Amino acid sequence: MHARTYLLAAAAITAAAILPGSAAAGWTLRFSFVPEQVYQGLPAAVSVLVKPANARCSLRVRYADGSMQGSLHPVRASSGRAAWKWTMALFAPPGAAHAFVSCGQSGSLSHAFTVVGGTVRPSKLRVDADGFSQRPDRYDAGSTVSYGVVLDNPSSTQDAQNVTVLVNFLDAGSRVLQTATSRVTTVAAAATFNVGGYASLPSQTPVDRLEVVVQTDSFTAHTSHEPAVENVHVVQSSFEPDWVGEVDGDVINDDAKDTLDSAQLSIVLFDATGKVLGGGTGFVLASLPPGTRSYFSASGGFSAVHFAEVSSASVSVVPTYKAPSS
């Protein structure tokens, strides 16, 4: 069965037997179809069986944030069946939703369902951009996806702590092909953070889009400091020159007093228009006193990105500092 089309098929199974309506015996109104789950960007449907057979019925759908689905007009039942279809918005509020059907003197019904999607962001961080590149594996039936996500912390006073970024790779039917998870220690106040990485997929089914879920453990008063980077450049692979091999540059300890003990690097690649092409990671193990710098070469995750398409790279650094000994 194609992707998530069980919205109209398997969901009918999960709806089980026809749901009861206003009266158990000698009913006048009952659901004939109501989904258990619907997915952002895909069709949704609700239908009822009603007596009399030409009753006029209306449907209201309320989402988890209290907003209502538009364009659901009253309908006249045909042969005792009233039905509605609509397409879920890509950013429809995820979580518990409710369908309310009213058919005048025939009665009314309600039923809960779940909207599934990637826009639940209790962290309050914004996803400014995301993108990917996919490359079929040479020696098996799988593929590799390099991805990048740009997070923005809109708070001017608070750092986001212990941020989890879950990325689902979706096909054209919104089926999840693979999932990758990254954890970021801190996203500084009024700053962006580049989350780069890669995933191995068991198939070569084309990835159509990313679904990004961001969660944050807490917000604290702004104290974080990210080391500076400079001389960043993208390097083609020595063995496969059509593809990106690594991202090189310098990391600088511009802290006034503490030694930079190590640094995790997270990198996003862009084309000339600013589109995200992918991303990757690296690590620096160097003890850098204040005012010193170290070369870095990050090579994890870029091999699915065409070198010729890359115009720039943006590097975010998660540092570990060591206070000077007294």
The structural domains of the chain, with segments of one domain joined by +, span 5-116, 118-326
Lowest mean pLDDT among 71-80, 117-126, 237-246: 117-126
The whole-number average pLDDT for the span 16-38 is 68
Task: Quickly state the pLDDT bin for 326 (edges 50, 70, 90).
Answer: low
Task: Quickly state the pLDDT bin for 22 (edges 50, 70, 90).
Answer: very low
The whole-number average pLDDT for the span 172-176 is 89
pLDDT on residue 37: 86
- Residue 135 tokens read as 């490359």
Nearest alpha carbon to residue 80 among 50, 38, 39, 104: 50
* CB burial string 79-117: b at 16+ within 10 A, e below: eeebebebebeeebbbeebebebbbeebbebebebebbb
Nearest alpha carbon to residue 193 among 326, 13, 318, 19: 318
Residue 24 pLDDT exceeds 60? no
CA separation for the pair 263, 317 (Å, rounded): 6
The whole-number average pLDDT for the span 138-146 is 95
Strand-strand pairing, 108-116 and 37-39: parallel
Lowest mean pLDDT among 22-31, 130-139, 179-188: 22-31
Residue 173 pLDDT exceeds 50? yes
The whole-number average pLDDT for the span 37-45 is 86
Task: Give CA separation, 190 vs 212, 226, 267, 297, in Å.
Answer: 21, 12, 19, 28
The whole-number average pLDDT for the span 211-231 is 91
Nearest alpha carbon to residue 107 among 56, 178, 165, 60: 56
pLDDT on residue 124: 78
pLDDT on residue 84: 96
Proportion of the chain above pLDDT 70, given as a percent: 90
Segment of 167-176, 211-220, 229-238, 316-325 carrying the highest mean pLDDT: 229-238
CATH superfamily for 5-116 is Macroglobulin (MG2) domain (2.60.40.1930)
Residue 6 pLDDT exceeds 70? no
Nearest alpha carbon to residue 312 among 275, 282, 264, 263: 275
